Structure 1
Amino acid sequence: MDTNSVSPLPPPEAPLAMMEGEKTPPGSASGNEMPPPPDEKRYEEDSENAWNCGSWFEYMLIVILSTILLVGVLVLTLFWILFYRGGYSWSENRQLQFNLHPTLMVAGFVTLSGFSILLYRLCRCLKHIYVKLLHMFFHACAIPCVALGFLAVFESHNLSDPPKPHFYSMHTWLGLVTMGMFVLQFVIGFFSFLVLLCCENRTYKCRSTMVPIHASFGLVNFMLAIATCITGLIENERQVPGEVLMNTRNSEIEHYIVNSLGIVFVAIAIIVTVAVRRSNAPATAKVYVTERI
């Protein structure tokens, strides 16, 4: 038989190799060249899963309670200072200048920061970039409140006769730690989640790594602010003996107002923690509220 009359068959490995090559598109073998999904897709899982009546009830309850508590604690502080502490001043009266300290600290560290944290829970119909900008705006508004509140108490101690020492109590030390963490959080958040968006795809992994760290330390910073406010109320109560407070009707009412402020601070800590850590999405969803930063 002539071997040149029959063409040899190709080896069996060749078609398999060609088929495998056709199945794999060029440039997608490792999967690293595919761009990450944009931030707007973070809400897709929640939007695909319809809320039931219980989820809507929980959402509305958190919105109403958090708004009442965060605004109410500032209103109660203003009422306390205006009607029982003589109002406000700057440099003319040491005690009235000190009154700026609790009001501005509550406004910056509790009310504005609390709303800034809850934005990721409350503003579910806005685009993610808008929520980021609002989050930064509320924190930016809190900075001058904190700075002026710190300056007010610092100068009021210097104006005392004799001058009071600085940074001697637990309240002052907690305040320093809270302010330091607040500034650090703002700087890291500004550069990590706004400036790095100019090269979004290349910095996606870095930002996704920073998300749980930033969210966790933000909640810790808020809890430190609540603890600082409560220790400040305790320090204020210890400055005047209890027997003196109960001598007049106004002093007795002021005592109850201060205690009510402490209870409201505890309620705010509870509602903000529950709102941030709770998600209405089903168990199959992979994006949670604390990751939407």
Structure 2
Amino acid sequence: MTTETLPQPAPAAAPRHQASTSLGGWLTRALINLFLGLWALVVIFPMVWLVYTSFKTDQEIFFNPWSLPTSLQWDNFVRAWVSAHIGDYFLNSLIVVLPSLVLILLLGSMAAYVLARFPFPGNRVIFYLFLSGMLFPVFLALVPLFFLVKNLGMLNSYVGLILVYVAYSLPFSVFFLTGFFKTLPSELHEAGIIDGANQYQVFFLIMLPLAQPGLVSIGIFNFLGMWNQYILPLVLMSDPARYLLTQGLAYMLHQQYYMNDWSGLFAAVTMVMVPTLITYVIFQGQIQKGITVGALKG
């Protein structure tokens, strides 16, 4: 007795719409990668060009702007640092930016912690007052700010500029850190209180270390903003001996129309750019971590 072999059904062909979908997804990813590559090139190339141009002579800058330097002119950096007083401007910027950053992180974290963890009458009002400070353009406050600082006797002083930097940066810092402190577990706060710690010990010994990613993120943002700030020092610091880096670069640029030391100017811009670039490269992981945690849990 023989059994007939039944014909096996042919494998079903993949639906045409699935193939088109996969092809569309591949094209989308390719276009996104191409765009990101072009954007990276647009951002990175000017910085690379600036760095190797700072090692050229003035003749090479004008006659061979895109070529590499024939020899490294380290004297450009010496002239910029000493003759153009970039070293003095660099020190002045550190004197203003570093204390401002410490005060911003300390005051901003304390205010954000209270607003995030302690409900009390007027809590939201205070928070929205800080938030409204982000909506107020600094240009509208330049004239009254100038007379306020002048009447306080702090014009052309580091202390006056530091206080202005702190007041200018606190709204965004409090807004950012308030959302970050809300993500921290309240069980640790309760455990610290049960173990006999007071509120100051809980904040400085438990909560503040846990908020390190957020503090690093907001610290880098404020550092870059204050380091590159130009309009506030221009209005409040008119003494050439106390110029900050941005003012010094603008002053050096105006001098080039008479001195023609463009290689020194490129060297000065490179020295100003490098600290901010190094700071971001070192802390980029913590910056991304702080932003991600605030976005996912805020």
TM norm structure 1? 0.29
Whichever structure has more helix as a proportion of its residues is: 2
TM norm structure 2? 0.29
